[in-house]
């Protein structure tokens, strides 16, 4: 409902508001800012300060590592590669996959080259913000070739939805005419389009994709990201770890030196080469002496999420705050002076001040039961979460995509902050009702998520016993190793 911002805004008041907003934003981004400052690369390579002895040593080590990666590993890799058909040539590592056994006999492979050789591929890596049309343009190729490529695909989503880092390869003849194009369709299929005089023909190579399980253990010293790096985790995997425990641990406020974690996770490999990070399978996090466990599990409804050892979802049923706010501009009260109407009136929700356009998220899974204009509330949405609990969201500048009767997932954007209806500034008015009674969203006891039903719980325990044993082993082994130092 409206908020109390109608008192004259003096310069002092304004400055204070700005300071509060800046403070909140600072706190908000401190986590990321702090961790980004702790990478090895920043400390060594981009440090603007003068180079002392240890910097030279580190620089030397970095150079040595570069040399190792550049020279020794490829040499070793080609030396250890098992070549099924011995040839008199020594081949250096190419960016092409090893062909599966029998693929040499496939007449579609190598059929486009005169001498049966691979075409002279020009490999292009997609940059942020680029479309395939941009890439074609950069290669001096026109809309006709692009259209021919798109038309050759029954489902062209692999060409229409491209991601930065993805690779496309083009082959052209001496006159600059496109003869072939290569790209990946999903993780496991490499596609080559052959541009003949007539139709575009396609050949594919299925590539073996496997997931390999890894174990990592880390102790927090400087930051979570630093600890993750020391434990051999990528930043993306550290984020997955933080997200898994994010409902229980506030990583910006609660993290302490000496906190530790153990993770069983997998990585996706394609033909023996690391393709991308996989998922966390199970993890423990000890925060300020308290142990949390996350186990990835797909329940009978087919939903995959993290559970505690007892089979309770880590994800809570409700978000405490459904918007990233700058400050709470009005709290729940049973009677207050209404800023616009000018008489005593209860404020049955919380007002979260936030810039116009800030996304408003569904506090929990539920069904849209109201979506429209409601006097005073302006653009208003009500979600029914179960037979007892509903939440309401007012003053939206505009709605999200959901319609009345539709189901929404927790965290889904249902609208955007605004000041429609009786409001003196952009904010979200948020209400929480249990059995039709308004409760204070800031202090109401949020219901615990339902644990797995007994039938599934037995299966869950059985399936995860080896994982838990493995995690405990990692924990105790590292403790022993540290004690032995």
Residues near Zn ion (CB under 5 A) are 1, 351, 429
3-state SS assignment for residue 468: helix
Our CB check for Zn ion shows the closer of 371 and 429 to be 429
Our CB check for Zn ion shows the closer of 259 and 351 to be 351
**Residue 136: enclosing H or E segment and its boundaries?**
helix 132-138
What's the longest Cα–Cα distance across the chain?
94
- CA 239 vs. chain centroid, Å, equals 7
**Residue 34: enclosing H or E segment and its boundaries?**
helix 11-36
Our CB check for Zn ion shows the closer of 181 and 360 to be 360
Our CB check for Zn ion shows the closer of 217 and 429 to be 429
| N residues, the chain | 485
Smallest distance from Zn ion to CB 421, Å? 10
CA distances from 456 to 310, 392, 469 (A): 12, 34, 20
Our CB check for Zn ion shows the closer of 209 and 340 to be 340
Our CB check for Zn ion shows the closer of 410 and 424 to be 424
What does the DSSP assignment read for 392-422?
A: EEEEESEE-S--TT-EE-TT-EEEE-B--SS
Our CB check for Zn ion shows the closer of 1 and 383 to be 1
Site of tokens 């952009």: 426
Give the span between the Cα atoms of 436 and 417, in whole angstroms: 25
Q: Where are the alpha helices (DSSP H) in 292-450?
A: none
Our CB check for Zn ion shows the closer of 168 and 352 to be 352
Sign of the torsion angle spanned by Cα atoms 300, 303, 309, 310 = negative
Smallest distance from Zn ion to CB 281, Å? 44
Smallest distance from Zn ion to CB 404, Å? 23
- Identify the burial level of 325 via C-beta atoms within 10 angstroms of its C-beta, where 0-12 means exposed, 13-18 middle and 19 or more buried: buried
Sign of the torsion angle spanned by Cα atoms 423, 429, 433, 438 = negative
3-state SS assignment for residue 329: strand
3-state SS assignment for residue 245: helix
């Amino acid at each position: 409902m409206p908020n109390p911002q109608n008192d004259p805004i003096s310069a002092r008041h304004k400055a204070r508001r700005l300071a509060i907003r800046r403070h909140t934003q600072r706190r908000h981004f401190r986590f990321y800012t702090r961790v980004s400052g702790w990478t090895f690369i920043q400390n060594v390579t981009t440090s603007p300060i003068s180079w002392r002895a240890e910097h030279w040593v580190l620089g030397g080590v970095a150079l040595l590592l570069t040399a190792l990666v550049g020279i020794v590993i490829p040499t070793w890799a080609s030396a250890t590669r098992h070549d099924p058909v011995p040839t008199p040539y020594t081949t250096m590592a190419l960016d092409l996959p090893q062909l599966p056994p029998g693929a040499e006999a496939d007449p579609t492979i190598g059929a486009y080259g005169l001498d049966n050789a691979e075409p002279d591929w020009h490999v292009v890596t997609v940059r942020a913000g680029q479309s395939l049309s941009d890439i074609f343009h950069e290669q001096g190729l026109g809309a006709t070739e692009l259209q021919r490529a798109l038309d050759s695909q029954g489902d062209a989503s692999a060409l229409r939805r491209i991601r930065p880092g993805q690779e496309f390869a083009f082959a052209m003849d001496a006159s600059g005419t496109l003869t072939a194009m290569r790209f990946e369709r999903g993780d496991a299929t490499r596609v080559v389009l052959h541009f003949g005089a007539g139709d575009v023909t396609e050949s594919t190579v299925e590539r073996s994709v496997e997931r390999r399980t890894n174990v990592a253990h880390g102790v927090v010293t400087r930051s979570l990201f630093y600890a993750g790096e020391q434990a051999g985790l990528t930043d993306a995997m550290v984020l997955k770890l933080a997200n898994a425990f994010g409902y229980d641990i506030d990583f910006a406020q609660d993290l302490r030196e000496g906190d530790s974690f153990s993770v069983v996770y997998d990585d996706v490999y394609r033909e023996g080469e690391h393709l991308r990070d996989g998922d966390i399978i199970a993890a423990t996090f000890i925060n300020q002496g308290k142990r949390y466990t996350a186990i990835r599990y797909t329940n009978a409804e087919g939903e995959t999420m993290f559970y505690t050892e007892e089979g309770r979802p880590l994800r809570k049923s409700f978000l405490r705050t459904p918007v990233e706010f700058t400050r709470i501009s009005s709290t729940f009260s049973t009677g207050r002076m209404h800023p616009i109407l000018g008489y005593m009136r209860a404020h049955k929700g919380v007002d979260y001040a936030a810039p116009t356009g800030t996304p408003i998220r569904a506090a929990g899974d539920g069904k849209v039961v109201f979506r429209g204009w409601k006097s005073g509330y302006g653009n208003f949405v009500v979600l029914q979460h179960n037979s007892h609990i509903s939440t309401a969201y007012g003053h939206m500048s505009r709605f999200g995509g959901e319609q009345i009767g539709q189901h929404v997932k927790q965290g889904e954007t249902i609208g955007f902050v605004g000041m429609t209806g009786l409001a003196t500034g952009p904010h979200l008015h948020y209400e929480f009702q249990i059995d039709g009674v308004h409760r204070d969203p800031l202090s109401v006891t949020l219901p615990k998520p339902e644990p797995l039903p007994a039938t599934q719980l037995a299966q869950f325990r059985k399936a995860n016993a080896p994982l838990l044993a493995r995690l405990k082993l990692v924990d105790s082994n590292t403790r022993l190793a540290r004690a032995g130092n």
